[in-house]
C-alpha cells in the first residue's frame, strides 16, 4: 500500500485499546479507537479501514453482530477477533461470520504485529484481485462493445460481406450478402462457401494500372477456387483477388473482392470477401456501347452522302452544267443540315440527362405556345395541303413549365404530325382536364404505325423503316427529347396509332388547382 494502513481497535477495555495503539503506532500504522460496537460502527461508516481488531464480548452491539454489519459496508475489511474467552466454538462462529483470524487475550505485542501484518497482506491481495477482476470485466465489456460496433458497421454496409475461416467455412455475413446470395432463414454459418456460391465466375481480366497484389481471375474459376488460392498461397504478393461472378439469377452480376485476414504476427486466420452488385453498371456499360454504335451508324450515313456528292462535283462529271453542280451541292447541303440536326439533338439529350438544363419554371398557358407553333409550321403544312383544327377552351388551367421546353416539345409533336401525314390530311389538337393533369392531344390522319412498333417509339434513333418513311428526313431523336422534357416536368406521354389510320400523341402535364 502507498498510504499507511488504517486500523481500528474496538474493545470496551481501555488497557487493551491503548496497548494495541502503542504497539501498532510504532510500526507506522494509523490507529483509531472505539470503546464499544456502536462507536466502532459509526467510525467504519465515516472512514475506510484496512483492518479491525474487535472484541467479541462488548455491551450493546456484540462482536459477532458487528462483523456482519462491518462487512455489509466493506466486504474486504480484514477483521481479527480479540477475546479472553477464546474457544473452538467461538472461533468457528467468528470465521463463519467473516472474521479473518482471532487472537486470545492476553497476547504479546510481537504476536499482534505478526497477525496484523499477515492480515494487511491478505487485504492487499483481496484489493488487487478485486482490481484485476474489475479490469477484466471492463475489458470484456469493451470487447463486447467493439464487437457490437463492428457488427453494426458491417450490417449497415450496402456491399455484401462474407468472412470465412481456414476450413473455408462461412462464419459471418451481413444483410446485404443475404440478399445478394438469396440466403434463406434456414441457412446458418459453418457451411463451406461453395454451398452458397456454386456458379462459375465470368471473365475478370487484368486491366492496366492495377495495384500490385490485386489479381483478376479469368473465366472458369469460381469464388471457392479463389478462396482456396488465397488460403493456400505462400506468395505474400497475393493480397487480393477480384472477379465477377454470376449466380442462379442470370441478370445479377456481382463483383467479388477477396483478401486474406492475418493477425498482428502475420498468421493466416481466414479470408474476407466483399460483394458489390454491379448489375446496373453492366447494364449502363451495355447501353453505352449500343448508343455509341448507333451514333456511329447514324453519323456515317450523312457523312458518306456528303462526301459522295462532293466527290461527284470535284470529279467534273457535271462538266460546264452549273445546274447539275448546284443540285449536287444542294443535296450535300441537305445532308449536312440533317447531320447538324442530329448533333444538335444529341447535345440536347446529353444536357437533359446530365441535368445541365436549368429549367425556368413559371405559370405557362400552353395553349398560347401551341397556337404560335402552329403558325410557325403552317407554311410547311400548306405544301401538303394539311389543315389544322385547334379545339382549346379559353378556361384551360395554366401549368408550371419552362417555356422553351414547351416550345421544343410541341414543335417536335406537331412537325411529326405534318411530316408523317398524307397529302390533304389534317391535324387536330384537343385538350382534356382531369383532377390532376391537363392533357394535350395531337391527332393526325397520317400513315400510322403497327402495334409492334409502339413500345419502341421513344427509344433513341428508332424510326419505322418502310417505303413510305424512307424519304422522310429525321434524326430519330425528336420523340426521345419530347419524352425527356415531359418526364422533367413530372408528366407522361402516350401514343395511339394504327396503320393508315393516323396517330395520336397525348401529353399530360400536372397543374395546380386554384384555391378560392
DSSP string, 353-389: HTT------EEE-HHHHHHHHHHHHHHHHHTTT-EEE
SS3 content of the chain, % helix, strand, coil (to 5): 45, 20, 35
Mean pLDDT check: name the lowest of 16-25, 54-63, 169-178, 286-295: 286-295
C-alpha angle with apex 248: 246 to 252, nearest 5 degrees? 50
Please report, to the nearest 10 degrees, the dihedral formed by the alpha carbons of residues 36, 42, 45, 46 taken in order. -120
pLDDT at 204 (0 to 100): 43
Query: What's the mean pLDDT in 311-332?
Result: 79
pLDDT at residue 190 is higher than 60: yes
**For cell 452522302, what's the residue?**
305
Q: Which residues contact 346 (CB under 8 A, 6 or more apart)?
A: 295, 477
pLDDT at residue 434 is higher than 80: yes
C-alpha cell at 458: 421513344
**What is the tens place of the pLDDT at every residue in 29-53?**
999 999 998 999 999 999 999 999 9
Predicted confidence band of residue 95 (pLDDT cuts 50, 70, 90): confident
Instruction: Please name each of the domains of the chain with its CATH number.
Output: 6-132 (3.40.50.2300), 160-277 (3.30.450.20), 282-353 (1.10.287.130), 362-510 (3.30.565.10)
**What is the tens place of the pLDDT at every residue in 446-497?**
888 888 888 888 887 677 766 666 666 666 677 888 898 898 888 999 999 9
Higher-scoring residue by pLDDT: 185, 430? 430
Q: What is the side-by-side strand order in the sheet with 101-104?
A: 30-34, 6-10, 51-55, 78-83, 101-104
* Cβ(479)–Cβ(456) below 8 Å: no
Higher-scoring residue by pLDDT: 337, 143? 337
C-alpha cell at 215: 489479381
Phi, psi of 376 (to 5 degrees): -70, -40
Amino acid at each position: 500500500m502507498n498510504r499507511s494502513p488504517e486500523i481500528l481497535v474496538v474493545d470496551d477495555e481501555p488497557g487493551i485499546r491503548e496497548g494495541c495503539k502503542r504497539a501498532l503506532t510504532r510500526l507506522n500504522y494509523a490507529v483509531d479507537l472505539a470503546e464499544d460496537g456502536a462507536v466502532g460502527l459509526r467510525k467504519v461508516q465515516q472512514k475506510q479501514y484496512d483492518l479491525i481488531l474487535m472484541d467479541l464480548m462488548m455491551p450493546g452491539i456484540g462482536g459477532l453482530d458487528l462483523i456482519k454489519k462491518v462487512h455489509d459496508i466493506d466486504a474486504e475489511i480484514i477483521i481479527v477477533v480479540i477475546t479472553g474467552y477464546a474457544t473452538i466454538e467461538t472461533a468457528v462462529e467468528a470465521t463463519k461470520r467473516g472474521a479473518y483470524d482471532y487472537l486470545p487475550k492476553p497476547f504479546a505485542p510481537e504476536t499482534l504485529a505478526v497477525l496484523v501484518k499477515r492480515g494487511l497482506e491478505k487485504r492487499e491481495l483481496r484489493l488487487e484481485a478485486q482490481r484485476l477482476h474489475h479490469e477484466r470485466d471492463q475489458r470484456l465489456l469493451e470487447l463486447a462493445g467493439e464487437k457490437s460496433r463492428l457488427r453494426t458497421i458491417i450490417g449497415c454496409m450496402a456491399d455484401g460481406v462474407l468472412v470465412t475461416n481456414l476450413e473455408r467455412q462461412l462464419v459471418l455475413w451481413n444483410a446485404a450478402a443475404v440478399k445478394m446470395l438469396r440466403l434463406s432463414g434456414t441457412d446458418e454459418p459453418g457451411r463451406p462457401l461453395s454451398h452458397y456460391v456454386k456458379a462459375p465466375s465470368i471473365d475478370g481480366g487484368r486491366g492496366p494500372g492495377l495495384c500490385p497484389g490485386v489479381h483478376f481471375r479469368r473465366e472458369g474459376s469460381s469464388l471457392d477456387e479463389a478462396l482456396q488460392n488465397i488460403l493456400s498461397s505462400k506468395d505474400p504478393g497475393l493480397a487480393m483477388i477480384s472477379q465477377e461472378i454470376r449466380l442462379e439469377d442470370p441478370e445479377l452480376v456481382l463483383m467479388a473482392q477477396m483478401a486474406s485476414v492475418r493477425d498482428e504476427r502475420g498468421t493466416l486466420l481466414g479470408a474476407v470477401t466483399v460483394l458489390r452488385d454491379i448489375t446496373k453498371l453492366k447494364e449502363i456499360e451495355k447501353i453505352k456501347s449500343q448508343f455509341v454504335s448507333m451514333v456511329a451508324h447514324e453519323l456515317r450515313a450523312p457523312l458518306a452522302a456528303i462526301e459522295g456528292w462532293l466527290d461527284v462535283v470535284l470529279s467534273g462529271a457535271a462538266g460546264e452544267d452549273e445546274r447539275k453542280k448546284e443540285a449536287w451541292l444542294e443535296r450535300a447541303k441537305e445532308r449536312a443540315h440533317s447531320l447538324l440536326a442530329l448533333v444538335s439533338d444529341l447535345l440536347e439529350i446529353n444536357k437533359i440527362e446530365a441535368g445541365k438544363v436549368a429549367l425556368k419554371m413559371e405559370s405557362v398557358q400552353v395553349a398560347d405556345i401551341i397556337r404560335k407553333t402552329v403558325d410557325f409550321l403552317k407554311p410547311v403544312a400548306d405544301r401538303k395541303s394539311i389543315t389544322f383544327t385547334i379545339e382549346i377552351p379559353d378556361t384551360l388551367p395554366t401549368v408550371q413549365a419552362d417555356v422553351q421546353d414547351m416550345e421544343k416539345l410541341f414543335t417536335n409533336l406537331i412537325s411529326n404530325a405534318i411530316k408523317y401525314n398524307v397529302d390533304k390530311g389534317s391535324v387536330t389538337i384537343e385538350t382534356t382536364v382531369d383532377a390532376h393533369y391537363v392533357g394535350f392531344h395531337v391527332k393526325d390522319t397520317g400513315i400510322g404505325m403497327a402495334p409492334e412498333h409502339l413500345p419502341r417509339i421513344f427509344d433513341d434513333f428508332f424510326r419505322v423503316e418502310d417505303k413510305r418513311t424512307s424519304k422522310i428526313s429525321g434524326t430519330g431523336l425528336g420523340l426521345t427529347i419530347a419524352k425527356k422534357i415531359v418526364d422533367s416536368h413530372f408528366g407522361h406521354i402516350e401514343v395511339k396509332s394504327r396503320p393508315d389510320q393516323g396517330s395520336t400523341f397525348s401529353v399530360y402535364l400536372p397543374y395546380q388547382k386554384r384555391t378560392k
